[in-house]
Structure 1
Amino acid sequence: MQNLFAPHLMDIICLAASAGLFSSHHLYVRHKLKTNPTYSLYGATTLARTAWVVNVMEEKNDILAVQTLRNSTMAATFLASTSILLAVGLLTLSGQADKLGETWHALNLFGSRAESTITLKLLVILGNLFIAFFNFSFAIRLFSHVGFLINTPPEEGSYGASITFVAMELNKAGSYFHMGMRAYYFLVPLIFWLFSPLFMLVATITLVALMSRIEKTPPLDCEYLGGLFKNSCPMPRE
């Protein structure tokens, strides 16, 4: 077993560090959402989806529901299809790993240059693409279910026609879509890993820094729409 992992030790350590850093950021955001549901755009969107379901089912906005769910389904379908196409392209490259290794490892000063290391990297990237594919597929499945449930007249005591149940299913679909996008984001460090494990660490740190800035909900500016609408700042300031 030791001889199996010894040639890839540096690459495996950097992969573990990269995955740990990426996962730590995700867990940190989840922890913050428990105390502040609008800490990130994902949390704010979750609340918005819940309010949207209540509005659609109470006001019977059937056309709005169909159009919005169709757009979400099309986005998830496109990303799921892209995942499979990338996986097929990656499998094609795996047959030329010996030739591509010389080019990819031109700047690899610390990692392994063995052909088996290239195979390991391609397998990890392939696994990441399949994780993205299954998450987007689950999202499509739930968006399809919600399309039927949301047009069912709300009925007290009926689990399937409950507004709460429909909102939970829609947010679950949003969660799968979110995790699929996370897998897409982590694909960036894995691509840099093909060239060098140190490049992967640098790419991960840069990616986490960008995600921390982009995904955080901006502070609410109560004067942003103050000149046009009254009560434009319903949420309290922090």
Structure 2
Amino acid sequence: MEWRKSYLDLILVPLSVLSPILYHIWLWQRIRSQPERTIIGINSASRRLWVFAMMKDNDKKNILAVQTIRNAIMGSTLMATTSILLCSGLAAMISSTYSIKKPLNDSVYGAHGEFVMALKYVMLLLIFLFAFLCYSLSIRFISQVNFLINVPQGDDNSLVTPEYVSHLLEKSFALNIAGNRLFYAGLPIILWIFGPVLVLICSVSIVPILYNMDIAYGQGKGEKVDRKISMGA
């Protein structure tokens, strides 16, 4: 009897999780092999060029650099705040004595016992907690960039180089992207509350949306950008 209630979850939920995981493995390999064909790779190269430009002409562009970084910090702060608020709400719901599964007993397919419902909310809590961690670390790295990008360049300064500052900036944005993807992963888990069928539909629908967000069409200048960076532009 229990198998009849949970067989959809055992089949559809792993398929739903596997789909975005395979996509991100492919995307990671694409970024490493052909960064000029991805939005992430082009933006990464552009940020490195931006750091070189800001630090090369720091006297004239220091205010612009600080304001740009401040806007990025505000975006990560907003997402970190949203994540921790969702975690607080989920933690309060899990610890509540009210049985949250009662209104769903006759309205969803798949398993909806006490253990399964607790598993769904715990997974949501963990996803948003890891998203909060990524956003917090992103703020930490980009705050360091905010200080270091205005360090005067000279022969006596061999530690704070544009390469080092751009490396910190890339770490910050990589963590921000990871936080965003974890945030997106929370949507199928939320729909899992209403049944595993919606999880599969949502996961399959997210992959082409992410593909159109990540892949740059008709871009052939990424190689030139990488050459400029390697030459110390």
Aligned residues: percent identity?
Answer: 26
- Residue by residue over 1:122-141, the C-alpha shift from the partner in whole angstroms, topping out at 9 and shown as x without a partner, is 00000000010000000000
What is the match of residue 30 of structure 1? 28
Report 1:79-158 matches (<5 A). 79-95=79-95, 99-109=99-109, 111-155=110-154, 158=157
Unaligned runs of 5+ in 1: 221-232
- Shifted more, 63-72 versus 9-18: the winner is 9-18
Partner SS for 1:108? coil
Q: Match for 2:53: what amino acid?
A: N
SS at match of 2:36: coil
Asked if 2 retains the 8 angstrom alpha-carbon contact of 1:108 and 1:196, the reply is yes
> Relative contact order: is structure 1 or structure 2 higher (C-alpha 8 Å, sep ≥ 6)?
2
Per the alignment, in what secondary structure is the counterpart of residue 38 of structure 1?
helix
User: Hey, which bits of structure 1, 4+ residues long, moved more than 6 A?
Assistant: none
Q: Is the 8 A contact 1:66 1:147 kept in 2?
A: yes
Contact preservation (8 Å) 1:11, 1:197: yes
Tell me what 2:231 maps to: none
Query: Which residue of structure 1 aligns with residue 73 of structure 2?
Result: 73
Match of 1:230 in 2: none
Question: Which letter does structure 2 place at the counterpart of 1:17?
Answer: L
8 A Cα contact 1:155 1:162, kept in partner: no
CA distance in 1, matches of 2:115, 2:57: 60
Residues 31 and 40 of structure 2 are in contact (CA less than 8 Å); yes or no, is this contact kept in structure 1? no
CA distance in 2, matches of 1:185, 1:127: 13
Q: In structure 1, how many angstroms separate the alpha carbons of the residues matched to 2:4 and 2:146?
A: 52
Could you list the per-position Cα deviations for residues 166-196 of structure 1 after superposition, in whole angstroms to 9, with x for gaps in the alignment? Answer: 1111001000000000001111111111111
Q: 1:234 to 1:26 in 2, by over 3 A?
A: closer
| Range moving further from structure 2, 9-18 or 55-64 | 9-18
Contact preservation (8 Å) 1:154, 1:163: no
**What is the rounded CA distance, in whole Å, between the counterparts of 1:155 and 1:27 in structure 2?**
41
Q: Which residue of 2 aligns with 1:39?
A: 37
1:154 alignment partner AA:
Q
Q: SS at the partner of 2:37?
A: coil
> How many Å apart are 1:102 and its aligned residue?
3.0
Whether the aligned pair in 1 keeps the contact of 2:35 and 2:222 (CA below 8 Å) is no
Structure-1-length-normalised TM-score? 0.83
1:213 to partner: Cα distance: 1.7
Superposition deviation, residue 8 in structure 1: 5.8
Matched, 1:171 2:176: no
* AA in 1 matched with 2:44: T
TM-score by length of 2: 0.85
The letter of the residue matching 2:19 is L
Q: Deviations over 1:94-128 (max 9, x none)?
A: 2458643133454422x212111110100000000
Q: State the alpha-carbon separation in 2 of the partners of residues 126 and 142 from structure 1.
A: 25
Cα 1:50–1:113 shift into 2, 3 Å: same
In 1, the alpha carbon distance for the partners of 2:176 and 2:217 equals 22
- Aligned to 1:174, the other structure's residue is in SS state helix
Q: Post-superposition shift, 1:10?
A: 4.7
Task: Tell whether the 8 Å contact from 2:127 to 2:182 is kept in structure 1 after alignment.
Answer: yes
Instruction: Report the counterpart of residue 200 of structure 1 in structure 2.
Output: 199
Structure 2: gaps of 5 or more residues = 224-233
Distance change in 2, residues 1:31/1:105 (3 Å): farther
The structure that is helix-richer by fraction is 2
Indicate conservation of the 8 Å contact 1:97/1:118, yes or no: no
Bigger Cα displacement from structure 2, 186-195 vs 91-100:
91-100
Q: Against the structure 1 CA distance between its residues 102 and 157, is the aligned structure 2 distance closer, same or farther, given a 3 Å change threshold?
A: farther
Match of 2:230 in 1: none
| Cα distance in 1, alignment partners of residues 184 and 74 from structure 2 | 20
